[in-house]
Structure 1
Amino acid sequence: MKTSELVILKSWHKIVIILAKQTLMDTAVTRKNRKNKYLVIALPAFLLAGYLVYSAVTKKRGLDVKQNEIVIKTVENNYFEDFIVFQAKVEPLNSMLLNVIEGGAIHEIFVENGSMVTKGQPLARLYNPNTELGYVTQETSIIEQINNLNKAKLDLRNQELNLAKDLVAIEHDYLDAKTQYDLNEKLYKEEILSKNEWQKTQENFRFQKERKNIIQQSIQKEKQANQIQIGQITQSQAIMHKSLDILRTNKKNFLVTAPLAGRLTSFEPVLGKNYQAGESIGKIDVMNGYKLVAEVDEFYLSRISVGQKGRVDYKDGTINVAVTKVIPEIKKGSFQVELNFTDAKGLDLQQGLSFGVRLMLSEKAKRTVLPKGSFTEDTAGKWIFVVHGDKAERREIKLGRENPLYYEVLGGLKEGEKVVTSSYKDYKDIEVLNIAP
């Protein structure tokens, strides 16, 4: 009983006692008194009013309902699994985006969306006159630079050849001077050649010898310098040839080809439409398996991790799955989860199929459980109507975890008790439901 009800009851109890005492005192007087007469008449009225007030205060607020208007379930002691159910779509295990390398307008389309393609197969051709003109200009410039480097290399080699020719002539002069020196030396010793002629011969031989040495050193240094320059030119030419190859390869990028073998999906290019470089115009799915991709409510982000097990219904049985990737980025109140089939042998799946995934968040264990209902929308799971015969009385309870089938009961209910689990929208201020057939 509430405190306010007890206060009212005690107050009326005191009034009744006072009136009763007053009546007894008045009846002891033999002399009739009009006042006592009024008290005797008023006493029953006061008692009746007190009873009515007491009844109104202590009586629980009730409401008559029909049995077919409510849903009654039984509290059970059953195995409880903490799991969630969400929808997931089938996607290929591996796929690659098909991006436009060189921007331009679609000029030709060679295959249709959904076709199986092989690596290197042409898919579409783009056309961009400005880019093509730029390629031609760059190619011409690179070829001109390569030719200039070839000319520079040829000039260096001609220079070496001229120096070699000069060295041959100098060596010839040196040999002549040496021969004359040897002959005049003998003639001078035999006093046939004059001293003056001998001195001229010596001077000429010395000159030719020094000249030869200087030219040889100069040619050697020139060769070393030329070798360095030729090496640098050759390196520059290699870079330019590489640039030319890249340029010519880029010219081929107007032709979009399949980077690998698989099924072409999301391929919907429009003839004449311009596409920017790097823009995706489709993807290629590698047909070596499938995975499930799902958007899960952010509430479960901290409760889902890689390796958790689950099941999906497939035909007349179930298939086991496991979480392989959790992407924690929240978008529109959800995050993305990827799952792989752990026993997917012989599955005939198609991209885009949808499955209901039952993901286990805890191990199965015996618990006191309550079948789920809409009553929690109005009570927040803090109270419920417990059925006794043809009445259902309000009772405070405590609920724990939940899954799509049950609430875990932590307090307030026992196994076997029956409760009302339907909506309490019209019963929020009611304490007792009178259940009529």
Structure 2
Amino acid sequence: MDKVIPRKSKKIRYLTIGIGAFLVLATVVFFSFNKKRSLNVKGDELIVKKVEMAFFEDFMVFQAKVEPLNVMLVNVTEGGSVKEIFVENGATVVKGQPLARLYNPNTELNYLTQETAIIEQINNLNTGKLNIRNQELNLNKDLVLIEHDYNDAKRLFDMNSKLFDKDVISKNDWNTFKEGLRFQEERKRTIQQSIQKEKQTNQLQISQINRSIQTMEMSLDILRNNKKNFLIIAPESGRLTSFQPVLGKTFQAGESIGRLDSKQGYKLKAEVDEFYLEKMREGLKGEIEYQGKILDVVVTKVIPEVKGGHFSIELNFDPKEKIILQDGLSFGVKLILSERNKILVLPKGNFNQETAGKWIFVVNGNKAERRTIKLGRENPSYYEVLGGVKEGESVITSSYLDYKDVEELSISSQ
């Protein structure tokens, strides 16, 4: 007897096929995503360097220009147009030497008007002082007359006192002489007191007038000295630079017309990338090469204001070195930022432009694998290695521009 075999359901068959297809697709996708992205490159296109232990000196190199150690500006005190020029730019001058003369007719007329007014006030004050002296003189004349009258009265009193004692004159006449003397005494005393008070008042007024005259004379001296400010003179001895006056050119008061180098030495001034701002400080030492000699320099001033991505510093030469330089000379300065120590280093290269120091290709045979690294300090030759690679490993330091998204490089010899 035949056995009846039941038919399989179509749904189960389709489900089995679907599961199988999904598993195949998932396997393909999995291996696609987990397969390293690789690229074939030629070995002669790469620069390969070794990670090594070496003496690392944290330093920086930049250009600095020579400037005079002490510079004094030559400023215009009274504005005006250039009338005369006595020296040329670059000349060596002495203190007080005339450099140029300016002319301003309006200012000179104003000075003349002020001078006339001050002189007139001084004359008026002197006239007032003379009037006070005349008043004192008149009072003294009055006092002389009063003393004369008193002396007459006293003489009559003394003479008639004897006659009265001898009963030659009457009592009424005697009383008249006595009253006359009393009156002259009182008159003399009153005038003397009045003159004394007047003299005290006059002395105070004259003292005030003298102070006013003294102040006005000082103002007059200042005014006359200001008239001399149209003549520009050297404030110190030295070499004149940046001195470019032109006949007829107008300068405003306070404007600089030149500079004076006192020839007391030189300094270096440089613009440094803001990256080094935190590392920069006064006292850092460096060196430059000049005429085959190494000269020591030291940072004396740091100006932390950042402009255009740079800040300014000033360096002085070792005072023991006697050198003669010129403004505008430029030197390459090597500035030491830390002591010289032996550490793990990686030679510098263009790879850092694409990786920002976060990863690198490490060479192993004919392969190079991408690896995460950590870098620290740097100088013009090396990066300090803090992690990711070991001493003796070879790394690619040339540019990663064409394969910055690649994880593995296959290096061929051709």
The reply on whether 1:275 has 2:251 as its aligned counterpart is: yes
Deviation at 1:59, TM superposition (A): 4.6
Match of 1:217 in 2: 193
Task: Provide the rounded CA distance (Å) in 1 between the counterparts of 2:288 and 2:52.
Answer: 26
Gaps in structure 1 of 5+ consecutive residues: 1-47
Deviation at 1:222, TM superposition (A): 1.1
Deviation at 1:394, TM superposition (A): 1.5
Correspondent of 2:207 among 231, 239, 247: 231
Deviation at 1:60, TM superposition (A): 3.0
Task: Provide the rounded CA distance (Å) in 2 between the counterparts of 1:49 and 1:190.
Answer: 171
Seq. identity, %: 65
Task: Provide the rounded CA distance (Å) in 1 between the counterparts of 2:234 and 2:377.
Answer: 51
Match of 2:4 in 1: none
Cα–Cα, structure 1 residues 147 and 287, in superposed 2: closer, same or farther, change >3 Å? same
Task: Provide the rounded CA distance (Å) in 2 between the counterparts of 1:263 and 1:50.
Answer: 85
Cα–Cα, structure 1 residues 242 and 54, in superposed 2: closer, same or farther, change >3 Å? closer
Cα–Cα, structure 1 residues 230 and 50, in superposed 2: closer, same or farther, change >3 Å? closer
Equivalent runs, 1:243-262 vs 2, <5 Å: 243-262=219-238
Tell me the TM-score normalised to structure 1 length: 0.86
Match of 2:18 in 1: none
Equivalent runs, 1:109-128 vs 2, <5 Å: 109-128=85-104
3-state SS of paired residue (2:73): strand
Task: Provide the rounded CA distance (Å) in 2 between the counterparts of 1:181 and 1:347.
Answer: 102
Tell me the TM-score normalised to structure 2 length: 0.90
Task: Provide the rounded CA distance (Å) in 1 between the counterparts of 2:120 and 2:319.
Answer: 63
Match of 1:65 in 2: 41
3-state SS of paired residue (2:275): helix
Match of 1:75 in 2: 51
Match of 1:333 in 2: 309
The reply on whether 1:207 has 2:207 as its aligned counterpart is: no
Deviation at 1:49, TM superposition (A): 11
The reply on whether 1:100 has 2:105 as its aligned counterpart is: no
Task: Provide the rounded CA distance (Å) in 1 between the counterparts of 2:373 and 2:277.
Answer: 28
Match of 1:374 in 2: 350
Task: Provide the rounded CA distance (Å) in 2 between the counterparts of 1:283 and 1:301.
Answer: 30
Task: Provide the rounded CA distance (Å) in 1 between the counterparts of 2:82 and 2:165.
Answer: 98
Correspondent of 1:349 among 318, 325, 328: 325
Task: Provide the rounded CA distance (Å) in 2 between the counterparts of 1:81 and 1:322.
Answer: 17
Gaps in structure 2 of 5+ consecutive residues: 1-23
3-state SS of paired residue (1:424): coil
Match of 1:155 in 2: 131
The reply on whether 1:193 has 2:193 as its aligned counterpart is: no
3-state SS of paired residue (1:81): strand
The reply on whether 1:300 has 2:293 as its aligned counterpart is: no
Deviation at 1:333, TM superposition (A): 2.4
Task: Verify the 8 A CA contact 1:102 1:253 in the aligned structure 2.
Answer: yes
Deviation at 1:373, TM superposition (A): 0.7
Correspondent of 2:374 among 395, 398, 414: 398
Task: Verify the 8 A CA contact 1:86 1:296 in the aligned structure 2.
Answer: yes
For the aligned residue pairs, the C-alpha RMSD in angstroms reads 1.9
Task: Provide the rounded CA distance (Å) in 1 between the counterparts of 2:218 and 2:347.
Answer: 73
Task: Provide the rounded CA distance (Å) in 2 between the counterparts of 1:51 and 1:243.
Answer: 103
Task: Provide the rounded CA distance (Å) in 2 between the counterparts of 1:268 and 1:232.
Answer: 50
Task: Verify the 8 A CA contact 1:400 1:407 in the aligned structure 2.
Answer: yes
Match of 2:287 in 1: 311
What are the Cα deviations for residues 280-312 of structure 1, in whole angstroms up to 9, with x where unaligned? 111111101001111122232222111111112
Q: Which amino acid aligns with 2:268?
A: L
Task: Provide the rounded CA distance (Å) in 1 between the counterparts of 2:272 and 2:97.
Answer: 38
Correspondent of 2:107 among 131, 138, 150: 131
Match of 1:10 in 2: none
3-state SS of paired residue (1:209): helix
Task: Verify the 8 A CA contact 1:319 1:343 in the aligned structure 2.
Answer: no
Task: Provide the rounded CA distance (Å) in 2 between the counterparts of 1:271 and 1:53.
Answer: 85
What are the Cα deviations for residues 232-262 of structure 1, in whole angstroms up to 9, with x where unaligned? 1111111111111000000000000000001
Deviation at 1:343, TM superposition (A): 4.9
Cα–Cα, structure 1 residues 300 and 55, in superposed 2: closer, same or farther, change >3 Å? closer
Correspondent of 1:386 among 348, 355, 362: 362
Match of 2:11 in 1: none
What are the Cα deviations for residues 130-189 of structure 1, in whole angstroms up to 9, with x where unaligned? 000000000001111111111111111111111111111111111110000011111111
Deviation at 1:50, TM superposition (A): 11
Task: Verify the 8 A CA contact 1:319 1:344 in the aligned structure 2.
Answer: no
Task: Provide the rounded CA distance (Å) in 2 between the counterparts of 1:102 and 1:355.
Answer: 40
Q: Which amino acid aligns with 2:405?
A: D
Task: Verify the 8 A CA contact 1:110 1:122 in the aligned structure 2.
Answer: yes
Deviation at 1:55, TM superposition (A): 7.3
Kindly tell me the number of residue pairs found equivalent between the two proteins.
390
Task: Verify the 8 A CA contact 1:83 1:361 in the aligned structure 2.
Answer: yes
3-state SS of paired residue (2:263): strand
Deviation at 1:334, TM superposition (A): 2.0
Q: Which amino acid aligns with 1:185?
A: S
Task: Provide the rounded CA distance (Å) in 2 between the counterparts of 1:54 and 1:268.
Answer: 78
Match of 2:147 in 1: 171
Task: Verify the 8 A CA contact 1:101 1:254 in the aligned structure 2.
Answer: yes
Task: Verify the 8 A CA contact 1:88 1:293 in the aligned structure 2.
Answer: yes
Task: Provide the rounded CA distance (Å) in 2 between the counterparts of 1:202 and 1:55.
Answer: 151
Q: Which amino acid aligns with 1:170?
A: I
